[in-house]
Amino acid sequence: MELLIFADSLAFHGPAGPLPADDPRLWPNIAAAALGARVELAAGFGWTARDAWWALTGDPRVWAALPRADVLVLAVGSMDTLPSPLPTYLREGLRYLRPDRVRRLARRTYLAAQPTLARISGGRPVALPPRLTVRYLADCVRAVRAIRPGLPVIGVVPSVHRADAYAQVHTGRAAGERAVRAWAAATPGVTLLDLPELVGDHVRGGHGNPDGMHWGWAAHQRVGEAVAGLAGGVTTQAGASETGAR
């Protein structure tokens, strides 16, 4: 079995910081180990559903993994719900500023202002509006199934945070959850993993990374086991459907 996973930094960030993708304590690898499977992870800091779409359409490593995949895991959508006081193109564009001292000053200024701006704006706008989150998730599923009809898909209910970097504001999450649940309910073959149910107490209780967003190892273990359970179930169902169709 092979899992093709698109994810944000929740997939490779532990209690003390980011780690190499093959660290066995990370949830994708816990899931793969439980299934006796391989995992191909496409992920990045702050990735939204739009980044997953860009990776699917633009990363040749993903193209190579797609024919082997038994389950597609779209573990994106959590970062979509975060406050984004600056439009994404401006926020992401800070890295391109030159000279270096101007870039560093602009970044420090923005990060210092971000909590206040998130609080003043009531957490809006978000990094990616819910309608666009589900549009890109739907685009990913349609594109993959054009090549791999019937491939099982696991999506996620957006996670929670208590991050001081956003003044602990997360007013956009509820709308994001409603949109993702409605999309999954209307899309055959999509199963949702409820991240808040799995990691909510862990994050809100301060048991994860000090940044208030990323998880400790207990949460990674819980999520990895849950993904393995869902993946095992959906592949069994897919196999039964194929047998019945013959």
Q: What is the pTM of this model?
A: 0.94
- Report d(CA 182, CA 4) in Å as an integer: 23
pLDDT, position 239: 54
DSSP string, 2-67: EEEEEE-GGGTEETTEE--TT-TTSHHHHHHHHHT-EEEEEE-TT--HHHHHHHHHH-HHHHHHGG
Q: Give the residue ranges of the chain where pLDDT is below 70.
A: 236-246
Q: Is residue 95 part of a domain?
A: no
| CA 180 – CA 72 distance, rounded (Å) | 16
Residues 6+ apart with CB under 8 A from 205: none
Residue-level pLDDT at 245: 46
Would you say residue 100 lies in a domain? no
**Residue 246's pLDDT is what?**
44
Q: What is the number of other CB atoms lying within 10 angstroms of the CB of residue 124?
A: 14
Q: What is the DSSP letter of 246?
A: -
Torsions phi, psi for 42 (to 5 deg): -115, 115
Flag whether 37 is in a domain.
yes
Is 137 part of any domain?
A: yes
Q: In CATH, what number is assigned to the domain containing residue 139?
A: 3.40.50.1110
Please tell me the distance from the alpha carbon of residue 186 to that of residue 167, in angstroms, as a whole number.
34
Residue 89 lies in a domain: no
Residue 214 lies in a domain: yes
- Model confidence pLDDT, tens digit, residues 161-204: 999 999 999 999 999 999 999 999 999 999 999 999 999 999 99
Residue in the block written with tokens 């999520």: 223
The angle at the Cα of 77, spanning 137 to 172, to the nearest 5 degrees, equals: 125
Q: What is the pLDDT of residue 234?
A: 79
Q: Is residue 78 part of a domain?
A: yes
Kindly state whether residue 91 falls inside one of the protein's structural domains.
no
Please count the helices (runs of H) and the strands (runs of E) in the chain: 9, 7
Can you give the residue range of the structural domain that contains 17?
Answer: 2-83+122-245
Is the four-CA dihedral 155, 185, 141, 38 of positive or negative sign? positive
CA–CA distance, 202 with 216 (Å, rounded to integer): 8
Taking phi over 0 as left and psi of -120 to 50 as alpha, with beta for the rest, 71 belongs to: beta
Domain count, the chain: 1
Cβ neighbours for 50, distance < 8 A, ≥ 6 positions apart:
128, 132, 136
Are residues 47 and 8 in contact, defined by beta-carbon separation less than 8 angstroms? yes
* Rounded-to-integer distance, Cα 201 and Cα 188, Å: 31
